[in-house]
Amino acid sequence: MIDNLLLGFSALMTPMALLAVFAGVTGGVIIGSLPGLTSTMGVALLIPLTFSMPPEAGLAMLGGIYLASTYSGSISAILLNIPGTPAAVATLLDGHPMSQKGQSMRALALATFGSSIGGILSVIALFLIAPPLADFSLKFGSPEYFLLAIFGITVIASLSAGAMIKGLIAGLFGLLLSTIGAHPVTGDVRFSFGSPILYDGIPMVVSLIGLYSIPEVIAMISRKQVKIEESSKTPPRSALSFLPEALAQRVNILRSSLIGIIVGIIPGVGCSVGGFLSYDAAKRASREPQAFGKGSPEGIIASETANNAVTGGTLIPLLTLGIPGNPVTAVLLGGLMIHGLRPGADLFTLNAEITYGFILSLLVANLLFVPIGLFFARYCAKVIQIPTAILAPCILALAVIGSYSIRSSLEDSLIMLFMGVVGFIMTFFAVPRAPLVLGLVLGTLAESELARSLALVQGDVLAFATQLVTRPICIVLLILCAYALYQGIVQHRRNSNLLDT
Amino acid sequence: MRLDQKRESLFCGLAFLTAAALILASLGYDIESAYFPLLLSLLMGVLAIALFVQTLMPHSKETAKAQTEAADQSDRDQNDKDRAVMRDQLIGFFKIFVAVLAYIAGIQLTNYTVATLAFLILMMGMLGTHKVLHLALVAAGMTALLSYLFFTFLGVTPPEGLMAFG
């Protein structure tokens, strides 16, 4: 393991890789603090930029965007009472009241240090848990991989906020979109409508750009922009002077990190849930629970530490089993694939240099967003005021040129637009997009492993079904799929009962 | 039928039609290559029907509550608001769809620089920026930035327009 770490360290210590981390963190801080721009959209839009970079630099940049944008949602939450990302909603409860008391820098510093420590602890967990889990994945055969793909989609669909059937339909549609192009075993081209550009299927990155940029821009221009007043002027006190106050909350930080990591490992739960769970745990454990909601430093640290600890947690199932825990990691999986990397044991052995370089880059990113975030916070109010009329066309131009750049084809820009239409229809009908993304990402894996499994039993469906119920890992996965669906049904019933009462 | 029910029913219809179209298309391929999409489409069609049934048969209390509320003025106001939001979303969608389509066609017809400048200026103007200096500066800056990032820094070949402007 030490050898692999050294390999990763040498891969990271190149000017290109370090510059990529810096650019990713800076971009992530800006994207996360702009309300309406999500981490997913940021990562999706910037994947084309990493296309021609070396994999370690490209992944370092994407990782930097992910971590920094998760953290920086807190900046606008604290200063302006607007969470830049859903992850920062719990931070808003105490961050803004503290800011209103004229302690903006204190709130920002506590949020930043909490995020950084939570992020670092989660990367350590990733480093310790991922390699053995990846080794375990060697025991997986085709039927297990097929069920793993199905499990990923089932979990996300069942957690689709009380819209399980819609989530399942979205997941199925994503799987169907992934079947466009050549069959992984027979090579027959399907649903291409005679267009050679579709022979290789719908390019994943292009789809993700469309799914996440077009609907966001439509939402942006459909709502009126509100003039934001800064709640208080940033006081001159140095942010570093609040570091001892943050470090004094060791128990809170450790508890919140643990909650964040566990929440991250469970697919589909997400940063905002992690933030709320640890906020609640901190409130229960606090000697001053009455201070929560009125500018409690414990509340800020709990939610920020947890939501950044989620980031490392989500990468554990992603890098080891190829199961993305949330839309951002689904997009990151696309980023891994365009660099020719496949999650699993190979990532930690054959591609150890790139993988460990990526993990170390996350550590660097977690440290780097402290100075960048605190510096940016001073100018945040002005940047956030960029009018929609300027921001929206710039995002669209970036989306069109970004999707063109993947294969130097304007037809890809048209595919991006088509996926944008799909994304809009989904948001219009309140259908979650995450299951579709997962279906799209995991579809090829599901179909190819199903085809291989069937080929191994000479197409005998009964023999394949017998395999599914006799192989130990398959049984566990089937139970997990059933449990996920059961949970979805229970949640749906609970929502219906709430409506009834 | 309430507005949200209408919307759900419309979604079910769309999902069912998509599933039906995909089933028909799948039948045109060799079964060895088409069983997976065929199975998925069938499942999607079944789920669309299930969602439609669920939409039409809400819980009895909910129905009663909805019927009582239907008469309520505030509920009607909420429906009007929802309609207005939906209208704004559809108008926004139409604007963006046409603008992006025109932009892609513009790149194909002219070249990247001309089309991007024109797209940014027209789009910003349409969305409410009327200061000419702002328009020109942002459009030129963004066009140059994207050009540098993709065509110089990353070495992507710029799109070739039918009419070459250089």
Q: Is the pLDDT of residue A325 over 80?
A: no
- Contact in structure between A334 and A441 (CB atoms under 8 Å): yes
Report pLDDT for B58: 60
Q: Is the pLDDT of residue A501 over 50?
A: no
Say yes or no for a CB contact (<8 Å) between B40 and A424: no
Report pLDDT for A495: 60
A64 Cβ neighbours under 8 A, 6+ residues apart:
A20, A21, A22, A23, A24, A25, A27, A28, A361, A365, A368
Is residue B124 domain-shared with residue B60, that is, in the same domain? no
Domain boundary among B13, B37, B71: B71
Q: pLDDT higher for A227 or A410?
A: A410
Report the complex ipTM.
Answer: 0.89
CB burial readout A96-130, b (16+ within 10 A) else e: bbbbbeebbbbbbbbbbbbbbbbbbbbbebbbebb
Q: How far is B44 from chain A (nearest CA, A)?
A: 6
Q: Out of A111-125, A472-486, B47-61, give the one with best mean pLDDT.
A: A111-125
Report pLDDT for A159: 57
Say yes or no for a CB contact (<8 Å) between B89 and A431: no
Is residue B54 domain-shared with residue B89, that is, in the same domain? no
Token pair, residue B79, equals: 């429906």
If DSSP codes are grouped into helix, strand and coil, which group holds residue A189?
Answer: strand
Number of structural domains in chain B? 2
pLDDT digits (tens, 9 = 90+) for A159-199: 565 578 888 899 899 999 999 988 888 888 888 888 888 88
Is residue B85 domain-shared with residue B148, that is, in the same domain? yes
Give the integer Cα–Cα distance in Å for A394 and A404.
15
Q: Out of A257-271, A482-496, B78-92, give the one with best mean pLDDT.
A: B78-92
A391 near B CB under 8 A: no
Is residue B34 domain-shared with residue B77, that is, in the same domain? no
Q: How confident is the model at residue B149 (pLDDT cuts 50, 70, 90)?
A: confident
CB burial readout A194-218, b (16+ within 10 A) else e: eeebbeebbbbbbbbbbbbbbbbbb
Give the best residue of B93, B116, B135 to mutate against chain A (max A CB count within 10 A): B93
Is residue B20 domain-shared with residue B58, that is, in the same domain? yes
pLDDT digits (tens, 9 = 90+) for A47-59: 888 877 888 888 9
Q: Is the pLDDT of residue B166 over 50?
A: no
Domain boundary among B47, B71, B95: B71
Domain boundary among B71, B97, B132: B71
pLDDT digits (tens, 9 = 90+) for A382-402: 666 678 888 889 989 988 998
Q: How confident is the model at residue B71 (pLDDT cuts 50, 70, 90)?
A: low
Give the integer Cα–Cα distance in Å for A407 and A51.
10
Is residue B79 domain-shared with residue B151, that is, in the same domain? yes
Report pLDDT for A499: 44
Is residue B90 domain-shared with residue B24, that is, in the same domain? no
The lowest-confidence range among A394-403, B71-80, B125-134 is: B71-80
Report pLDDT for A500: 42
Say yes or no for a CB contact (<8 Å) between A165 and B103: no
Query: How many Cβ pairs closer than 8 A exist between chain A and B?
Result: 171
Is residue B21 domain-shared with residue B56, that is, in the same domain? yes
Is residue B53 domain-shared with residue B104, that is, in the same domain? no
Q: Is the pLDDT of residue A231 over 60?
A: no
What share of chain B has pLDDT > 90, as a percent?
46
- State which amino acid sits at residue A152: G
Average pLDDT on B44-60 reads 84
The parent domain of residue B58 ranges over 1-71
Q: What is the mean pLDDT of chain A?
A: 83
pLDDT digits (tens, 9 = 90+) for A399-452: 899 889 878 889 999 999 999 999 999 999 989 887 888 788 778 888 888 888
Task: State residue A162 phi and psi, 5-degree precision.
Answer: 75, 10
Is residue B85 domain-shared with residue B165, that is, in the same domain? yes
Q: Is the pLDDT of residue A350 over 90?
A: no
Average pLDDT on B2-27 reads 91
